[in-house]
Amino acid sequence: MLVLEATDQAPAKARRYLDERFRELGCDDHYVGRIVVTELVTNAYKHVGFGQIVVRVFPDKRDDLIVIEVGDEGAGLPVVRDENHEATCGRGLLLIVQLVHDWGVRPLNEEGKVVWARCGR
């Protein structure tokens, strides 16, 4: 588990952590994982902007997939926006939906939520 402050340095630190975890788990291709963790941590940093961001990367042995979880203290839920060819931002979750096996959001008992995605090894 990696605990980050909500700063502009968080996405890079999350990528390094993901690379390390993928190596530990014997995963050769971390390309999708890097996109997913970057987008989810960036969303937590930009849209919540306070508190801690918690990143977890672990195997889902039932389906031989990798789970990436990013938790934050914000109440707002992520929304997949419709494709807009003129938009300069807001496409990250749309991209994630296309790349991962599945994804979702889970509220925490205390304040906040966990956004998760399952991707191939």
- Other beta carbons less than 10 A from residue 102's beta carbon: 11
Tell me, yes or no, if the pTM score tops 0.85. yes
If one compares 116 and 87, the residue with the highest pLDDT of the two is 116
Mean pLDDT of all residues belonging to the chain: 89
| Closest to 93 in 3D by CA, of 35, 14, 34 | 35
Q: What is the mean pLDDT of residues 51-63?
A: 93
3-class DSSP state of 40? helix
Question: Which residues share a beta bridge with 102?
Answer: 118
